[in-house]
Amino acid sequence: MTKETIKKKNFGRWSKQVGWKYLVAAIMIVYAIFPILYILSTSLTDMGGIENKTLFGQFYLGNYRDLLASKSYPYRTWLWNTFFIASLTAIISVFISACAAFAFSRLRFKGRRPGLLALILVQMFPSVLGLVAVYGILSALTDYIPAIGLGTKWGLILVYLGGSLGAGTYLMYGFFNTVPKELDEAAKIDGATHTQIYFQIILRLVSPILAVMGLLSFIGTSSDYVLASIVFNKSSQYTIAVGLGTLISDPFSKNWALFSAGAIIAATPIVILFISLQRYIVSGLTGGAVKG
């Protein structure tokens, strides 16, 4: 048997066992990265259209300058609205979900198990089923409590909180169960109350899942279009998703270059936040699967 024959057999064996995995990985990487490169390339063109046949054929930064300085499109206001709503939603939802998860995990009370089952059942229904109800409730609240009615940031925040507490509580519940209850018992012997155990011991041990829930909540609310579009009706109230939608909503004056520039600017802080919290993501999502 010649060396060439041996090499061919070894290559064939390697291709069947390992090589196909590299091929699939390369295809998936190209599939994931190409849209990002295309949007980035479109944002650097001065044509205004999406007909970008050559990637990075131009390097025009005027779209970013025009978008940030535009008076027709208050992009900086959209950024602030998105940051305000997403940040408050993430902080409040993480706090309330953590409190509820602690109660389900550590306390024993009547209705505990039906409550957990209810959390699961509620998540089975898509949120789009509640759009009409959300609009009707906010419209009615506008007449009685205008601060949380249509066209208000707090009204949209309350809607987001209602949709995120179920999944957040159940995910945190599984992670809370991984914390040994002996720690609670030892703290009780030392005279600690449930509040002290929760804030001084448990929260420090479950910081990975808190970071993950905060990140998921921030990303979900900052990229939402449907709910924000039915709550806000003025350009100065829009979030990034709704505001950017107006750039391409007119079929006769679609400006894909400005849209792409706005998408790149909006995605940058989220990517930075994701990378900075990356070490918490795996442990936070898989920790609750060990014991639930």
Would you call 255 helix, strand, or coil by DSSP?
Answer: coil
Rounded to an integer, what distance in angstroms lies between the CA atom of residue 203 and that of residue 226? Answer: 33
Q: Which domains are seen in the chain, by residue range?
A: 3-65 (no CATH), 74-247 (1.10.3720.10)
Mind giving me the DSSP string for 3-18? Answer: HHHHHHHHHHHHIIII
Rounded to an integer, what distance in angstroms lies between the CA atom of residue 284 and that of residue 265? Answer: 28
Given this model, what pLDDT does residue 81 score?
A: 92
- In 10 A of CB 139, how many CB atoms? 12
Rounded to an integer, what distance in angstroms lies between the CA atom of residue 244 and that of residue 216? Answer: 21
Q: pTM for the whole thing?
A: 0.82
Task: Judge contact between 173 and 180, C-beta under 8 A.
Answer: no
Q: Name the token pair of 278.
A: 């990356």
CB-neighbour burial class of residue 203 (10 A; exposed 0-12, middle 13-18, buried 19+): middle
Rounded to an integer, what distance in angstroms lies between the CA atom of residue 3 and that of residue 10? Answer: 10
Q: What is the mean pLDDT of each run of 10 residues along the chain (292 residues)?
A: 60 71 88 89 77 74 86 88 93 90 83 81 77 88 88 90 81 83 83 83 84 87 89 89 86 80 89 79 56 46
Rounded to an integer, what distance in angstroms lies between the CA atom of residue 221 and that of residue 82? Answer: 8
Task: Judge contact between 92 and 218, C-beta under 8 A.
Answer: no
Task: Give the DSSP letter of residue 179.
Answer: S
Query: Which residues contact residue 106 at a Cβ distance below 8 angstroms, ignoring those fewer than 6 apart?
Result: 176, 181, 184, 194, 197, 202
CA geometry: angle 149, 151, 152, nearest 5 deg? 65
Given this model, what pLDDT does residue 157 score?
A: 92
Closest CA to 217 of 263, 274, 268, 138: 274
Rounded to an integer, what distance in angstroms lies between the CA atom of residue 209 and that of residue 167? Answer: 13
